[in-house]
Structure 1
Amino acid sequence: MAVFKRKLAMSYGGHTNPLVWLAAIICTIFAIAVIIIGIIVFIGYVVIHPRVPIISVTSAHLDLLRNDYAGLLQTQLSIVVTASNGNAKAHAQFSEITFSLSFQGQGIAVLVADSFDVPKNSSNNLRYVVQSSPIPLTPEQMDEVDASRKRNEISFDFKGAARTRWRIGPFGSVKYSCHLNCHLKFRPSNGSYIPSKCSSKSK
């Protein structure tokens, strides 16, 4: 069986082609640059020791809760979502911000916000006033509303996510996705918010 061997491109006289040397030099420079940038980013991360930015519901109020015998529910909620940046040496950017509000699986509203920056060691509030159209309820959901009024506690599902990013040094940056999934509980008698832990988890 014939065996074929590949030889490195050679120029006349048995010397390595200058283009091969040039390619090798470029690859070496690129590899060194990647290593240096990686070291700078690592040192910047250690020096800054950043805290992961978070989103959380810090305040809310049940402005309206009305249901009729036809099984239609109307509600209005005021919700304050706070974007917090605990980094003392780096600004943070929040983007792709989307939240959904629902009751017993029935969608009420989708809330969004444009991208914004939060200065180091600071926070920014997003204030939403959510007014629903009449929501048709099943008999089971109507029973749940009645039971909620009797025990003076009603719960809404609040889910959402945002992307966060902040720079470390002149070359690198850190990115996270913040995910929020919690229940917002209120007193139907006066609309007051029952405080609970509703903060994001980073992925």
Structure 2
Amino acid sequence: MKNRIQTILVALVIATVSFAFTNIEDGTVEVKVEKSSVTWKGYKVTGSHKGKIALKEGTLTFNEGKLTGGEFVIDMTSIENTDMEGEYKTKLEGHLKSEDFFGVEEYPTALLTFKKVTSTGKNSYEVVGDLTIKEITKPVTFELSVYGNKATANVKIDRTKFDVRYGSTSFFDDLQDKAIYDEFDLITDLEF
């Protein structure tokens, strides 16, 4: 019995190591949107809120096993809050989808296109991309890691660059504890 458990453990270790160092085929691969997740986190003077937003589609491009490009379409109509329940959850989601924030009725998608990808280590990359929200395109820079068929990144976004000004002290005085910080995070876990 002990030998059998050891054999199973060795097989699991070998499978894990093999999976982690699997060579990625060259070309463009589709991101499995149903197995990937994007979590948003916004900050205000009195705390923070977080939630999810869905990818509509996405691709990553590889050349000689290295990441060289990517493009993602984000479904802005899917903005969901995950740290509240009931009436407050519904109100916050409605407000984020309204003209005060992302105006999802008029702008149902956002787009991120990789413009430059630089290797910074074995599985790490610095990505410079164009992010389009509300038909306004601005550059963003972030770190992305690739392991096997998974990629992770944390993208910090200044919402005011995309005309999302509600509650911003950059545009409004005397907000006091109603102020919402300009930057929010998108934490991505991708599978391809």
Under a length normalisation based on structure 2, what TM-score does the superposition of the two structures give? 0.29
Higher alpha-carbon Rg:
1
Under a length normalisation based on structure 1, what TM-score does the superposition of the two structures give? 0.28
